[in-house]
Amino acid sequence: MSFLEFISQPWPWYVAGPLIGLTVPILLLIGNKSFGISSSLRHICAACLPANISFFHYNWKQEAWNLFFVVGVLIGGFIATRFLANLNPFQLAPATETALRSLGIQDFSGLMPADLFAVSNLFTLKGLFFFVIGGLMVGFGTRWAGGCTSGHAIMGLSNLQWPSLVATISFMAGGFAMTHLVLPFIFKLIN
Amino acid sequence: MQQAPLTPDLVPGGSERSDKLSPSIPTTVSALANLKYLIVGLVFGLVFVKAEIISWFRIQEMFRLDSFHMYGVIGSAILVGMASVYLIKRFDLKTMQGETVRIAPKSFTKGQVYGGLIFGLGWALTGACPGPLFAQIGSGYLVIGMTLLSAIAGTWLYGYFRNHLPH
């Protein structure tokens, strides 16, 4: 197996997790920066549409490193998909596949279900729920919580901050509630 | 223009670092200095895709308790982060610039519960937290641009209603 074939396989959790964890000391040591991604959304608001809202009036340029970081994430996503893509079919846990099939998902070939995440769904009920309402909740919720999975679950817990544990438990509770209580209704509406 | 006070819970990411930013760095130098963050982000995005963390299906597996993958990723990331922060503090490691490493404490607000629940609901719906959103777009799922725009709008709405929300 060549090196390229080797890294083209999906990476197991025990490789990916520690690499993500290393982002914490790397950012601290190269510039005294605390890891956190959702802040970038606030900087974009501050840069593009601060309006009359005091929450968006600060010197976002001093936090520009965060925007460089997310542009890097985007480029990394491009490189991984374009040059190091997994050659084998996507493997999903059979129980999840069964559950999602019963909800109406049919395409299990890619990383994202093509039934939902297609451009043709932009201006449909599917788009309204999965792009617009979902996105609004991610942006509104992370800012209200003061961080997301990176800022709270990874950075905050790494620094033993109990408010971050509260936030992480709330993230998970919200996710379980959506998956098991709300999603079945949404799929009934859109199908 | 009214300046927002950068108190710990207001500073982006909940960290207080306004005290150690040097405002007089010329733009070209700071853009170059910021390139290192782009490179760290790039590796991060690569890992996101290669470990399939950007997949809506993997997030569903996690919330259906059908796979250990995401728990392994997040759990081992936290353990490595914890060990690193401990070592940095224990041996008083300095930054590349020779500064003492400073991490602002997180102060508790009710937002961590209310906002946290709302984010969790959105996480299971979109299959993405803010980081993977960028990696998904880079991977060619351009339609996620709409999700990102909505997330920016959500952040803006939070700023707009901030004074009326419990904290």
Together in a domain, A85 and A158:
no
pLDDT computed for residue A9 by the predictor:
87
Q: Are B138 and A70 in contact (CB under 8 A)?
A: no
Is A111's CB within 8 Å of B54's CB? yes
How many independent structural domains does chain A possess? 2
User: Would you state the structure tokens that stand for residue A59, as one six-digit string?
Assistant: 């010197």
Indicate whether A100 and A191 sit together in one domain.
yes
ipTM score above 0.90: yes
Question: What percentage of chain A carries pLDDT values higher than 90?
Answer: 92
Closest residue by Cα to residue B63 from A133, A175, A16: A175
CB proximity under 8 Å: B 85-104 to A: 85, 87-88, 93, 95-97, 99, 101-104
Q: Is A19's pLDDT higher than 70? A: yes
* Coil/strand/helix, residue B94: strand
B21–A contact, CB cutoff 8 A? yes
HSE-CB for A153 with a 13 A CA cutoff: 26
What one-letter code names the amino acid at A67?
L
Contact A74 B134 (CB under 8 A): yes
pLDDT of residue A64: 95
**Distance between CA atoms of residues A35 and A22, nearest Å:** 10
Q: Which of A89, A105, A128 is the last residue of a domain?
A: A89
Asked if A29 lies within 8 A of B101 by C-beta distance, the reply is yes
Kindly state whether residues A34 and A83 are assigned to the same domain: yes
Task: Look at residue A99 in the predicted model and tell me its pLDDT.
Answer: 97
Average pLDDT over residues B136-142: 96
Are the beta carbons of A182 and B10 separated by less than 8 Å? no
Q: Tokens 């920066």 correspond to what residue?
A: A33
Q: Would you tell me which residues 50-69 of chain B have a C-beta closer than 8 angstroms to some C-beta of chain A?
A: 50-64, 66-69
Phi–psi pair at B100, nearest 5 degrees? -75, 135
Structure tokens at B1: 């223009």
Selected residue with higher pLDDT from B153 and B14: B153
Structure letter (DSSP) for residue B97: T
Which residues of chain B does A14 touch, with a Cβ-Cβ cutoff of 8 Å? 72, 76
pLDDT per position as a tens digit, A54-111: 999 999 999 999 999 999 999 999 999 999 988 888 999 999 999 999 999 999 999 9
Residue B24: closest C-alpha in chain A = A62
**Residues A98 and A42 reside in one and the same domain:** no
Same domain, A189 and A99: yes
% chain B with pLDDT above 90: 80
What average pLDDT does range A137-146 have in this prediction? 98
- From A70, which residue of chain B is nearest by alpha-carbon distance? B41
Q: Which of A72, A89, A106 is the last residue in one of the domains?
A: A89
pLDDT of residue B71: 97
Instruction: Give pLDDT tens digits for A25-46.
Output: 999 999 999 999 999 999 999 9
Quick one: pLDDT at residue B5?
42
Residues A28, A115, single domain; the answer is no
**Which stretch of B28-32, B38-42, B89-93, B134-138 has the lowest confidence by average pLDDT?**
B28-32
Q: Which of A10, A150, A180 sits opposite B52 (nearest CB)?
A: A10
Boundaries of domain holding A40: 1-89
Instruction: Write the pLDDT tens digit of every residue in A101-121.
Output: 999 999 999 999 999 999 999
Query: Which of A70, A89, A108 marks a domain boundary?
Result: A89
Each domain of chain B, given as residue ranges in start order, spans 31-66+104-162
Q: What tokens appear for B45 in the block?
A: 């995005």
**B123:A173 CB<8 A:** no
Same domain, A108 and A57: no
